[in-house]
Amino acid sequence: MLYVFGLMAHVFPWVLGDKKTWETRSRQYRVAYRKLEPEGIRPEAFAGRGFYGDYFADQARVKDGY
């Protein structure tokens, strides 16, 4: 949840509601998820989850990404 909502809030904060609020949450979510996964989330976490899984797996492959 931290990765998925955080990434979406990072890329499209205005879609989730107040832009400033979601920009702040995106930063907070990234800090929290990186405490759990310091090297970033593994793309395999999204295997078998359809098109959205493919999208997030591709995002997870971005070097030094979210």
Q: What is the pLDDT of residues 12-40, one digit of tens each?
A: 999 999 999 999 999 999 999 999 999 99
Q: In this predicted model, what pLDDT tens digit does every residue of 37-56 receive, in sequence order?
A: 999 999 999 999 999 999 99
Domain boundaries, the chain: 2-60
The model carries a pTM of 0.88
Q: How far apart are CA 55 and CA 28, in angstroms?
A: 22
CA triple 17-18-24, angle to 5 deg: 110
Q: How far apart are CA 12 and CA 3, in angstroms?
A: 14
What's CA 57's distance to the chain center, in Å?
10
Q: Is 48 helix (H, G, I), strand (E, B) or coil?
A: coil
